[in-house]
Structure 1
Amino acid sequence: MKTMQWNILMAALLCVIMAGTGSVWAEEADQEYDLGQIIVTADRYPVNEQKSARFVTVLTAEQLEESGGNNVIDALKRSGTLSYKSLAPLGVSRMGMKSEVSIRGLEDGELVLINGVPIQSASGGSYDLNAIGLDQIERVEILSGAASTLYGADAMTGVINIITRQPGQQCSPYASVELGELGYQNHSVGLTSEKLNLGARYQRLDGIDTIYRKFSAKSPYRYDMQATDQLSASLNYRPAEHWTIDYLVTTIETGFVKRYDSPSKEPIFYDQDQEKHFADIRYEADNVAVKGFYSFDELTKNQTSPSAPEEKRRNYNYGFSGDYRFNAFSLKQTIGADITRRVADYDYSYGRHARDDSALFWQVKRPFFERLLVSAGAREQWINGYDGARNYSRFLPSAGLNFEVTSALHLFANAGKAFRAPSFNDQYYSTATRVGNPDLEPEEGWTYEAGMKYDHPAIHLRVAVFLMKFEDKIISYERADGMNSYYNAGDYENQGIEWKLVFAPFHQGQGVWKNLSFSARGFVANPKADDSDGVLTQVGPRVQTAFGIKYLGRLFTFNVDLINLNDREDDLESEITVNLYSRYQLPVGALTFSVDNLFDEEVVTGGSTTSEYYGLGRLIKAGYEIRL
């Protein structure tokens, strides 16, 4: 059966490739869509965001830089659109446990892509966005709401699509140097040309005390982080029209010390090395897209005192995807297929496991009455496990509509079925503090969304109300014996509202005031699930709001963001952080000055009723950048 599905999918991909030469979709697309903010994540092909049936947030390279973020995941947490959970400063992985962002207050529901292909591991759904520097990114598109029809399993609450920087029109070398407190360094150098984009980055942070604390009645302890050094490089090459090759590589060296509160217990020292690779080759034309991709992540943990055997944790993803657009029966149609092999190989935790994620999908769109655009789609998803793992097959339909009230105001709605299979960590993990549950069922359910989009020279507004209803949501919990494990919640529901507003009240004015804008982003939600005893319990933050003030002038840029996370799960304290970024253009190059956590608040980035993870205090940074 597995061989047959491979053959079917590879045949479908071949058909997509061969079919890509004769369509006239490009000419029609130019007539249908007005010029505006063009996105690719909502439909897998470029569309006008205002006319899509989805709530999509776009963060450009300039906006990411102006956030003052230290890497991609740090910049995303400052967007106000995503909640953030960190297990170590700068989003660094701690002993294999990864930092993550979540959509609308629901953890483990987001699918993360690079250039439209999945990078999450099968072991635990991790993605290590701290390994990607902002200089390597062209933009990030965040699609809120289930997207399993187009992107398959794991897209329960939305999709985060990271689009790498592409070759430019002229040769342009660049370099930057940034220094800060706590031994912080962030330096980059690169070159952009017509066919080639090259970049390299070095980042460092000195050791930090107390990044994690366990409040245990028997044996309380904390973790300190040793100095962290990160080196990354990127390549984007366009050998011919429509063809692109991308490659990212990162190495991270750090260490951790487990210190017990009791002076009678000796500390335990760990070294940690991580190496990550991502590569893809893409053919993207107006009516056809074909992609091949490969990602590899190896984390090596070495307990140095007292000495213990070295442990390696490896994750591999590789596969193909293809889709083709055409017109038939007065419908604009997209058909496609994808297949991904996911492998996890953990030396001592559970050994080697693998699975194949494969699918066929179809989406149609048709306008009615010149103002209403209706879309519908379906996906047949197969997950085939190896070495005794379970197999799954699900049919995943969706539908959406967009109604143009005026050229400035659009109403939209969508509904879709979502699905996520248990990860290998969920099922098989086995350490001194955590054990998997091999009897877990997959998560599945429906999401519903309706909202409005309004665009005016002074106002950019998006508002959506949403409802998520899932069964068998996989929840992590702490057992009575202190071990952590997983269970299926009988019912899970989340409902609320998400918004984003950019207001430029002086856009028609004269002088400096016309460059001033204000923003407000966030959500109010009510994520609840049955706990291990069947009692309905809050499982995510209820309120997140972010407010920003930006001045964007020819010589001077200034941005301040305030992020408030409130009414959190597990009695975690509410928090408010303020971040500042500024840039001053010189005759040659520019000076930058930024402050993370301006008021030096204690930031609890995650935890439970018995433990807490901590972010950095105030971090002052200054730098110089030049682009020729």
Structure 2
Amino acid sequence: MPDHQIIISHRVTDPKAIIWIFLTTISIIVTTGFPLLSQADDTCYLDDVLITASRTAQTVDETLASVTVISREVIEQSQATDIIDLLKTVPGIQISQNGGRGSLSSIFVRGASSSQTLILIDGLRLNNATSGTPEIQYLVPDQIERIEIVRGPRSSLYGADAIGGVIQIFTRQGREKPELAIKTSTGSRDTHEISIHADGKSHDTRYSLGASLYETQGYNSTNDHYPANTGVNLDDNAYRNKSLTANLSHYFDNGVEAGISSSYQEGKVEYDGYTFSKNFTTYPYSAYTLFRTAFVNAYGLFPICDNWDSRIAVGYSDQKSRQRGKNDHPSAPYIPDFYTTQRLSGLWQNNISWSDNQLFTTGIDYYYDEADSSASYNNANTGSIEKSRYNAAVFIQNQSWFDQSNLQLGLRHDKNESYGDNTTGNIAWGVNLPEQLRLITSYGTAYRAPTFNDLYYPGAGNPELKPETAVNREMELRGLHPLGQWSVSIFQNDIKNMIAWTPDYSGIYKPDNVKSARIRGVETVFSAKWDTWNIQASATWLDPYDKKERALLQRRSRQYATLDINHLSGKYTFGTTIRAQGHSYEDADNTLRLAGFTTIGIRASYRINRMLKSIFKITNILNKTYQTAYGYNGEPRGFFISLLWTPDVS
């Protein structure tokens, strides 16, 4: 079979497949049947503006990539407790969690792992340099303005780690009218939250300030039915998070805009653990992680002339984590550890409109990483201690608009101190078809950088590692109906030089470029607004397999779908979210099976008066037992109620 062919195979062997077939059938029926509704609302979702897909402002309809924008309105309607809850309903995204709130969370975008998906917050890279995974679970929805998700490779614009896609989080900005919101919440598992947010505009200055405190006693996240958890301390795992955000921007008379955004989180996450004594007896202990993350980004926008604008940004991030624990067994003492990643970054981007239908973008992107941990990072080749590295890049892009089509070309070259040079590119072409249809085809290359742990971990690091590389092909068909839009995407992502920990000749596990994967998939998305109803549905069929072992990649389900319905009726709002996921496997050999599951959540709100609103939700209403990571329980049923006070401060 030629390498360039894209073929999707699927066998309906899981009962949950009925749900995907049902949702897809509903999408087709509704799409073809909605023209019969005379009361249709002409509102679509195509006017949402995003910048992540091309580093320039464009509407969803203009983009040549599969994108999703989670607006502030959608965030409020969802009543999400953390950002993980928000991402669970995004097309093409699966989430696995090693426990409850605040626990380690893995984000799989179209089958790509967390370390193969780039996460940005206000333009700053969130993926840490030690493990490569982003600690996105600590971010608070009340402090987020919007989230932009681009599915598919974007290394030609952002460099390393953008194999599966890019998720960019924007913290809240000041609005035209001053606003003050105070929310207090309580619920199951001794959960309490209080948050306050204020923003507004004074003359040409915008400001935004938010603070929150979240606490929960949690639940026993460890499943004691698995042999691997024998001896683990089985108790409820509490979580505490204190968070702050502050943003300020000013528009000058000469057209210059300058601003600064900042975000800070700190807290404690409990988890279950055990240690070994010298005779290999296991002893449980109470363990927890102390975390602290801080991000600051300052920028300036400068209009050079009518057709040329320039952006300069400087950012700093600091991520620290300390593992602590204690037990009463001196023969098996707990040994604490820590890691920290600090990053200094700079960006100079220029957008030049060199013709009526041409926009050229070029820029210089630089970041410098410093990493430290309780274990010294030793270079096995030189014997030196490695604590820092830099990455310098230049990128170019050209966007062209024609009568019935548009074209996007991108190229980027990165030079990294640890692993050398990498060049990536992207080409995408969109064509308008009759009957309000649009066909988009794209081809892109991407790569994932080896982390400090991969390269230099004591006794196991491999400084000879190469970056993982990927080639992605995609075709998308978009359409409009009187109530909204729909799309169907077919994609194939071939990933080579995948880093895996394997035993060497002496039996010691070390990372090496030994794996390759092919991820094929079909993704369907449907959205509609009619009268006071808002419907979002998506279904994804995935074939993510290891080309060498011919086994499914770990924790990736072959089928998953979501359905979200929201209804506004006067002072009331009602909503439900249904999420279904097929079975997956915890291990590379596909012997540890994670069963498929379906969860249902409901929510409602009532406007008591002009300033006060009550909010109510039930999560996992059927109390479904499930797990997305081997040995870790999913969140059980929970009841939560909130009061939101928005006094008039104008």
TM-score bracket, normalised by the shorter chain, equals: 0.7 to 0.9
State the partner residue of 2:306.
none
How far did 1:409 drift? 2.7
How far did 1:236 drift? 0.8
State the partner residue of 2:445.
417
The answer for unaligned runs of 5 or more in structure 1 is: 1-33, 386-390, 508-513
Q: In the alignment, does 2:100 pair up with 1:89?
A: yes
Determine the C-alpha separation between the residues in 2 that align with 1:35 and 1:564: 27
Tell me if the contact between 2:275 and 2:334 (Cα under 8 Å) persists in the aligned partners.
no
Q: In the alignment, does 2:605 pair up with 1:591?
A: no
Match of residue 76, structure 1, among 70, 83, 87: 87
C-alpha offsets along residues 63-85 of structure 1, whole Å, 9 cap, x if unaligned? Answer: 12322321112221233541101
Tell me if the contact between 2:100 and 2:221 (Cα under 8 Å) persists in the aligned partners.
no
State the partner residue of 1:619.
638
Identity %: 21
TM-score normalised according to structure 2 size? 0.81
Match of residue 383, structure 1, among 416, 426, 437: 416
State the partner residue of 1:573.
595
State the partner residue of 1:205.
216
Q: In the alignment, does 2:322 pair up with 1:300?
A: yes
Q: Quick one: which amino acid aligns to residue 320 of structure 1?
A: G
Match of residue 549, structure 2, among 524, 529, 535: 535
Determine the C-alpha separation between the residues in 1 that align with 2:131 and 2:438: 38
Match of residue 526, structure 2, among 486, 501, 508: 501
C-alpha offsets along residues 132-151 of structure 1, whole Å, 9 cap, x if unaligned? Answer: 11111111011000000011
Alpha carbons of 1:602 and 1:593: their partners in 2 closer, same or farther (altered >3 Å)? same
Tell me if the contact between 1:212 and 1:222 (Cα under 8 Å) persists in the aligned partners.
no
TM-score normalised according to structure 1 size? 0.84
Match of residue 365, structure 1, among 361, 377, 399: 399
Alpha carbons of 1:325 and 1:265: their partners in 2 closer, same or farther (altered >3 Å)? closer
Determine the C-alpha separation between the residues in 2 that align with 1:583 and 1:41: 32
How far did 1:303 drift? 2.8
Aligned partner of residue 267 in structure 1, secondary structure: strand
C-alpha offsets along residues 351-374 of structure 1, whole Å, 9 cap, x if unaligned? Answer: 753221221000112223x11111
How far did 1:164 drift? 1.2
Aligned partner of residue 546 in structure 1, secondary structure: strand
State the partner residue of 1:254.
269
Alpha carbons of 1:171 and 1:472: their partners in 2 closer, same or farther (altered >3 Å)? same
Determine the C-alpha separation between the residues in 2 that align with 1:320 and 1:408: 41
Aligned partner of residue 604 in structure 1, secondary structure: coil
State the partner residue of 2:176.
169
Determine the C-alpha separation between the residues in 2 that align with 1:412 and 1:124: 35
State the partner residue of 2:350.
324
Tell me if the contact between 1:313 and 1:346 (Cα under 8 Å) persists in the aligned partners.
yes
Alpha carbons of 1:78 and 1:366: their partners in 2 closer, same or farther (altered >3 Å)? closer
Aligned partner of residue 124 in structure 1, secondary structure: coil
C-alpha offsets along residues 33-90 of structure 1, whole Å, 9 cap, x if unaligned? Answer: x982211111111112112211101111221232232111222123354110112212
CA RMSD of aligned residues (A): 2.8
Tell me if the contact between 1:119 and 1:317 (Cα under 8 Å) persists in the aligned partners.
no
State the partner residue of 1:63.
74
How far did 1:189 drift? 0.8
Match of residue 108, structure 2, among 102, 106, 118: 102
Number of equivalences: 566
How far did 1:605 drift? 2.0
Determine the C-alpha separation between the residues in 2 that align with 1:190 and 1:218: 42
Determine the C-alpha separation between the residues in 2 that align with 1:37 and 1:77: 20
State the partner residue of 1:462.
487
The answer for unaligned runs of 5 or more in structure 2 is: 1-44, 304-308, 379-385, 587-592
State the partner residue of 1:356.
390
C-alpha offsets along residues 389-418 of structure 1, whole Å, 9 cap, x if unaligned? Answer: xx3211111111111225943221111111
Written as runs of structure 1 = structure 2, the 5 A alignment for 1:3-402 is 36-90=47-101, 92-93=102-103, 98-107=104-113, 108-194=115-201, 195-211=206-222, 215-216=226-227, 221=232, 224-241=235-252, 242-258=257-273, 265-284=282-301, 287-306=309-328, 308=334, 310-328=336-354, 331-348=358-375, 350=377, 353-368=387-402, 370-385=403-418, 391-402=419-430
How far did 1:457 drift? 3.8
Residues 469-478 or 166-175, more deviating: 469-478
Q: Quick one: which amino acid aligns to residue 379 of structure 1?
A: R
Determine the C-alpha separation between the residues in 2 that align with 1:87 and 1:35: 36
Q: Quick one: which amino acid aligns to residue 464 of structure 1?
A: S
Alpha carbons of 1:478 and 1:37: their partners in 2 closer, same or farther (altered >3 Å)? farther
Residues 211-220 or 458-467, more deviating: 211-220
State the partner residue of 2:571.
555
How far did 1:479 drift? 10
